[in-house]
Structure 1
Amino acid sequence: MGTAFEEAINKAVDEKVIAGAAVVAVDKSGILGTTKYAKAFGTTSLGKGGKPFQIDSTMWLASCTKISTAVSCMQCVERGLLSLDDPIGKILPEWTTPEILTGFDENEKPILKKATKTLTLRHLLTHSSGMGYPAFNPLLQRYLKAMGKPVGFPQGAIKDDLMLPLLFEPGEGWEYGGSIDWAGQMVERVNGGIRLGQYMKKHIFEPLGMKYTTFRPSEHPGVQERFIGRPFRTPDGKVIPDAPDVGMYPVREADDDYGGAGLYSCAEDYIKIVASLLVDDGKLLKSESIDELFRPQLPDTNYIQAVMDVPEAAQFLAPSFGTGVKWNYALGGAVAVDGVEERADKGMMYWAGLPNSYWWIDRRRGICGVYATQFFPPGDHPTQKLFTQFQKDVYAMAG
């Protein structure tokens, strides 16, 4: 690994700009080492009891969970249990006749109309379903208020917390939301009603040798004992040891296994998923399924581009990349259509988690990586700069 990233992160740790992080990168050709570059920096907490950060230190993955759910869905497609293009109402009867929120009347009563287009699993996995996250969408916030419901972090039953009207006809927009949580529900229902975590344990975690990954830390002492703190940077730049409870993270285990944001894991485990997809080792999916997972799916990229070109949205949805990158969305994550200078080739697939963790897979260059931490708030600029330098150094080393 080049020195620029290590110098930058060691300086950030020394100056308490961050607490710590773990990074892992895999190069298909082995240039980064026998199989990978893996290193941890800093400590697990800025408060009392902080220990050296390790590559098996555990944390909340948040939206980095989504790729695992996408893989689960594609496995079910391979087995004939799910179809990407059938109506999801066949599996989720509560979505047989979805409604679209079009506005509010003079009494703040929601105005709804029935959707005319079929809602599919492909829509769910690409965020083109019309589903949104209330925390990020003012219309849905107004809707919940009108219905007398709180706008909080979803951790109840998915059928209660994420049963919301659509924001547009399926396939006619792009909105980041809870659709992949519903995709996870589809996996559960076509597998006899087992929890999503049970499914993933059998079909993803155990085949890859992932020891510290779960939706339920209370059932996994190894995850609990490795759990890191959650430092928070205040608006004036001060770092405090524990993030305040402002609806940014789960304060308890969710009632359901949320396929969009519910996993807890570590860098050492998580790299195994992205590396398996990179090298196409057959442990998770057939080659044709991996190709489909990476294929840009949106026929009209104007919808996603309009979101990603808003600086405030890009800071959260494309942290460290900023505006100006041409995006599409695949079944597994966002795709940089033309690549990113010094950082990725065409077709790189990428996503991030709310506590500033990141992953990417670049099939053309044969490189993937994970930057794992738990630092708030989302879109933290110092953390973004460190991830950017890490990614640049990985590509510089790989040549």
Structure 2
Amino acid sequence: MNASGLSTARLGRLREVLTGHVARGEVPGLVALVARRGEAYVEAIGTTEAEGGGGPMRGDAIFRIASVSKPVTAAAAMILVEECRLRLDDPVDELLPELADREVLRRPDGPLDDAVPAHRPITLRDLLTFRMGFGAVLAPPGTYPIQRAMDEAGLTPGPEAVPVGPDEWLARLGDLPLVHQPGEKWMYHTGSDVLGVLMARATGRPLAEFLKERFFEPLGMADTAFHLPAGKLDRLPAAYRPDPGTGRLVRIDDPSRTRWARPPAFPSAGGGLVSTADDLLAFCTMLLNKGRYGGERILSRPAVEVMTTDQLTEEQKAENAVFFGGNSGWGFGVNVVTRRDELAAVPGRFGWNGGSGTSAYIDPAEGLIGILLTQRALTAPTPPVLFRDFWTCAYQAIDD
């Protein structure tokens, strides 16, 4: 055991288990990081490509972090709350008039014109907690009229880039009814993307500029952005998804012609960032330290505490058990563990996973940070075996 309270021998087990997943071809490569008490253990395993090309995975590889973007942008939004430029319970109508005077479906499976007026406006709190009344619909694609309308408008949550700018995207959203009344139910994803538009309008600046100046630069997150300059593209691994029939990895993004080589039309606060293990360690360390990083206070302790507290009632999350596993809830942009039922399920632990194959969680009780970055897309809301094994190995290494 060293000063971190992590067993060196048991950290070796972490490498052995993760190497096994790579050797079996489940992922081409990965970067794994476990940090405690100021010491970080990092493993870069495998290669950057699955087809035999590329090179060894690098510790400074830049990954598409997908929904791990959500905690990052939610934390940045708390800067504007602390400055009283945004308020949790104020309606967003003034800055987002496209979302004023909403209509709400009588039934999620009903026709679009069978709607009633919203009981109240959408608030910033609704966006942060995913209770705005709109988001991913958990039914087979095309089952309900609202799903078909979302598909046609380009509003269905997914890995594809949004082809229009923020104003057009929000106008399309404003043309559709909400699925639930504001504050009534948790619905995944869309609240984060609306949050990004709100932050840009509140600051009068593009979202990327605000995040870089007020959040990424103070944290030293030099490789976190919505796109990469040409000089960094060699650090971006190829991205894959498993073929549903064969399980073989199919390349879905090539570094030589990646869309991350240029600024996106729509900077997605819900899933558009790229980042590294080191950058995410800085972000997670700030949250673990209750808002302080390197002697500088980024957020207040109360801001971090409210952000990382479960905000949902059982009724609000009842239809989304697949996301919460019976032992967690949702704060502001983060999943929050509420019940201990496995090694890594420590009450108060918070973070999230990304559909591109990424995971980042912070455990205040154990003082532990874990980050796993892969380039294999997830195929379900429940974490894959690789993720579960990573977290088991991280927690079994605790030796005090």
Correspondence for 1:128: 131
Task: Determine if the alignment matches structure 1 residue 189 to structure 2 residue 192.
Answer: no
Correspondence for 2:340: 339
Describe the superposition over 1:154-183 as per-residue Cα deviations: whole angstroms up to 9, x where unpaired. Answer: 512234345142111111111113111111
TM-aligned CA distance change 1:142 to 1:232, over 3 Å: closer
8 Å CA contact 1:104–1:111 kept in 2: the answer is no
- Distance in 1 (alpha carbons) for counterparts of 2:82 and 2:72: 15
8 Å CA contact 1:360–1:370 kept in 2: the answer is yes
Correspondence for 1:213: 224
TM-aligned CA distance change 1:379 to 1:105, over 3 Å: closer
Task: Give, in angstroms, the shift of residue 149 of structure 1.
Answer: 6.8
Describe the superposition over 1:131-171 as per-residue Cα deviations: whole angstroms up to 9, x where unpaired. Answer: 113697743323347x7879683512234345142111111
Describe the superposition over 1:259-287 as per-residue Cα deviations: whole angstroms up to 9, x where unpaired. Answer: 11111112221121112101232542111
Work out which of the residue numbers 174, 178, 181 in structure 2 matches 1:169: 181
Task: Give, in angstroms, the shift of residue 5 of structure 1.
Answer: 2.7
8 Å CA contact 1:23–1:370 kept in 2: the answer is yes
Correspondence for 2:5: none
Task: Give, in angstroms, the shift of residue 359 of structure 1.
Answer: 1.1
Describe the superposition over 1:250-308 as per-residue Cα deviations: whole angstroms up to 9, x where unpaired. Answer: 7885312111111111222112111210123254211111111112112x223314312
- In structure 1, runs of 5+ residues without a counterpart are 309-313
Correspondence for 1:302: 315
- Distance in 2 (alpha carbons) for counterparts of 1:222 and 1:244: 18
How do 1:231-246 and structure 2 match up within 5 A? 231-243=240-252
TM-aligned CA distance change 1:63 to 1:327, over 3 Å: same
Describe the superposition over 1:166-217 as per-residue Cα deviations: whole angstroms up to 9, x where unpaired. Answer: 111111111113111111111111212x111111111221111112111122
How do 1:149-160 and structure 2 match up within 5 A? 153=160, 155=162, 156-160=164-168
Task: Determine if the alignment matches structure 1 residue 285 to structure 2 residue 293.
Answer: no
TM-score (normalised: structure 1): 0.84
Runs of 4 or more off by more than 4 Å in structure 1?
A: 103-106, 134-138, 147-152, 249-253
SS in 1 for 2:203: coil
AA in 2 matched with 1:166: L
- Distance in 2 (alpha carbons) for counterparts of 1:55 and 1:349: 24
- Distance in 1 (alpha carbons) for counterparts of 2:237 and 2:253: 16
Correspondence for 2:214: 203
- Distance in 1 (alpha carbons) for counterparts of 2:381 and 2:30: 14
8 Å CA contact 1:332–1:349 kept in 2: the answer is no
SS in 2 for 1:189: helix
8 Å CA contact 1:84–1:121 kept in 2: the answer is yes
Work out which of the residue numbers 81, 84, 90 in structure 2 matches 1:77: 81
Correspondence for 1:355: 356
Correspondence for 2:192: 180
Task: Give, in angstroms, the shift of residue 397 of structure 1.
Answer: 2.2
Task: Determine if the alignment matches structure 1 residue 57 to structure 2 residue 71.
Answer: no
Correspondence for 1:387: 387
- Distance in 1 (alpha carbons) for counterparts of 2:388 and 2:381: 12
8 Å CA contact 2:135–2:188 kept in 1: the answer is yes
- Distance in 1 (alpha carbons) for counterparts of 2:46 and 2:239: 14
Describe the superposition over 1:338-382 as per-residue Cα deviations: whole angstroms up to 9, x where unpaired. Answer: 13421131121121111121111111221121111121243398x
TM-aligned CA distance change 1:355 to 1:123, over 3 Å: same
SS in 2 for 1:342: coil
Correspondence for 2:284: 274
8 Å CA contact 1:356–1:379 kept in 2: the answer is no
Kindly report the root-mean-square deviation, in angstroms, between the aligned alpha carbons of the 2 structures. 2.8
8 Å CA contact 2:208–2:225 kept in 1: the answer is yes
Correspondence for 2:119: 116
How do 1:11-90 and structure 2 match up within 5 A? 11-27=20-36, 29-30=37-38, 35-90=39-94
AA in 1 matched with 2:320: V
Task: Give, in angstroms, the shift of residue 7 of structure 1.
Answer: 1.5
- Distance in 1 (alpha carbons) for counterparts of 2:259 and 2:90: 33
Correspondence for 1:259: 269
TM-aligned CA distance change 1:377 to 1:342, over 3 Å: closer
- Distance in 1 (alpha carbons) for counterparts of 2:92 and 2:108: 27
Describe the superposition over 1:44-72 as per-residue Cα deviations: whole angstroms up to 9, x where unpaired. Answer: 11125321112211121111111111111
Correspondence for 1:311: none
AA in 1 matched with 2:147: Q
Task: Give, in angstroms, the shift of residue 243 of structure 1.
Answer: 3.3
AA in 2 matched with 1:117: R
TM-aligned CA distance change 1:167 to 1:7, over 3 Å: same
Describe the superposition over 1:196-255 as per-residue Cα deviations: whole angstroms up to 9, x where unpaired. Answer: 1111111221111112111122xx23442211111222234432351399xxx9788531
- Distance in 2 (alpha carbons) for counterparts of 1:279 and 1:214: 23
Q: Greater shift after overlay, 69-78 or 341-350?
A: 341-350
- Distance in 2 (alpha carbons) for counterparts of 1:262 and 1:71: 15
- Distance in 2 (alpha carbons) for counterparts of 1:285 and 1:23: 27
- Distance in 2 (alpha carbons) for counterparts of 1:355 and 1:178: 17
SS in 1 for 2:34: strand
- Distance in 2 (alpha carbons) for counterparts of 1:185 and 1:150: 14
- Distance in 2 (alpha carbons) for counterparts of 1:105 and 1:168: 11
SS in 1 for 2:395: helix
- Distance in 2 (alpha carbons) for counterparts of 1:104 and 1:82: 30
SS in 1 for 2:306: helix
Task: Give, in angstroms, the shift of residue 14 of structure 1.
Answer: 2.2
- Distance in 2 (alpha carbons) for counterparts of 1:332 and 1:275: 17
